Amino acid sequence: MSGLLDTFREATLLQCSFLEKLLDLDMACVADFSASMAEFLQPSPDNKFVYGLAAGRSALALYSFLQLMQNHFENVFPFTLEDPVQRHYRKGKNLGIAISGSGETLAVNKYIDDFITRGGEIKLITANENGTAYKMVSEYERGSTLVIKARTKHATNKDMRSRLSPLGTEFELEVLAFLNALFADIQSRLKGICEPSCPEYRSTVKDFEENARLISEMEPGHLEHWFKRLLPRSGRYVVGGVGRSGLVARAFEMRLTHLNKISYWERDFNTPSFQIGDVYVPITGIGNTYEAMEGSVTALSMGADVMPITANRSSRLVSLLRKHGRTDDIAIVPVKPEYADVFSGDTSSTTWLMSDFTKFRYPIFEINSSVFTNSIVAVGAEFLGIVEAGMRRMHV
């Protein structure tokens, strides 16, 4: 098992290097992207519609950004690929944001074409300057592109990254961190502070990287126990979470499928009831959310295991597992000391409606839990003897 701990640490440090790469982007391009977003988000009496054009885990990274916009701007409404562009299209009031690492995702390219046909403004973030999406958007007069060079799920080079960050982890993590850091710069511009060096963006990226690096220092003995409890089981995996933590949870559930595990998203229509041998993995920064508590109580009552990923040692969820003698089944994702007060206490939630605190909380846990779960996938692939080519065959 010591080899798996080495894999976990190496995978975590590799992801920290992915975050650091975001500081090497052309700041003029980042500033242009941020300035155009700030211009679109300027206060106005009109409703505005933002379409997130992405699929798979790239979509989940983008939806986190859309949630931020919806939480902070009352008249900005996000839509996804499930909503046809023509349903809500209003000339001059629509913005399309497309994410495609390879630039060859057919559904995404179809919606890009819809936007172009209707004359709407569209932005693309991609890793492939030779992809179809890049060609479509770069040749369109109201289109703009930002290239984040990163390994995607379509990469075939068999280097170290394929073992430590299989199936597109690099691009998707960088997009998630980039958009969250960009939001800090957008907010700064809306206040009239328009620095070309994007200091808010840079400081946020550095903060993400410093927090993520703490994950590599998690206590080895506890991690070893946690891996032994999580990975070698034939039962089903049910992963849950709400808000932006829920988006991380859905990405993790996808990766469990790639590891050939039987996994479900907590609120899918086909998710079965718990039974002995199953494991419930709620991902919750504060550890007091109604859904996580209800899911954990139900799972324990049905004889299933509960293995939460959280940042709060004093939460109601931790207290629940302590009563059942299962504190070793909790993964506490570390954060820097200045954020300790954010993830503390046992304030309860009795409704699924998000509080203002949850809406506006700095997304440090979402980035850290993404890094942590990505590293778990690298460990799981090694433990189960699954290579990236096998995971790719499981990918939709």
Average pLDDT, 10 consecutive residues per value, the chain (396 residues): 85 94 95 94 87 88 88 84 58 84 92 88 94 96 92 53 65 93 94 94 96 96 94 92 89 90 88 93 92 94 96 94 95 92 73 47 87 93 76 57
Cα 188–chain centre separation: 23
168, 101 contact by CB (below 8 A) = yes
290: left (phi over 0), alpha (psi -120 to 50) or beta: alpha
- The confidence score (pLDDT) of residue 352 equals 45
Nearest in space to 343 (alpha carbons), one of 323, 321, 359, 365 = 365
φ, ψ of residue 126 in degrees (nearest 5): -145, 165
Query: Mind listing the domains of the chain with CATH numbers?
Result: 2-214 (3.40.50.10490), 219-394 (3.40.50.10490)
- The confidence score (pLDDT) of residue 149 equals 87
Residue type, 349: S
How far apart, in whole angstroms, are the C-alpha atoms of residue 225 and residue 210?
A: 26
Asked whether the whole model's pTM tops 0.85, one would answer: yes
133, 126 contact by CB (below 8 A) = yes
φ, ψ of residue 95 in degrees (nearest 5): -135, 130
Sign of CA dihedral 318, 244, 357, 219: positive
How far apart, in whole angstroms, are the C-alpha atoms of residue 228 and residue 173?
A: 26
Nearest in space to 71 (alpha carbons), one of 276, 263, 372, 353 = 353
- The confidence score (pLDDT) of residue 360 equals 47
How far apart, in whole angstroms, are the C-alpha atoms of residue 365 and residue 370?
A: 8
φ, ψ of residue 353 in degrees (nearest 5): -70, 135
Sign of CA dihedral 51, 101, 148, 205: positive
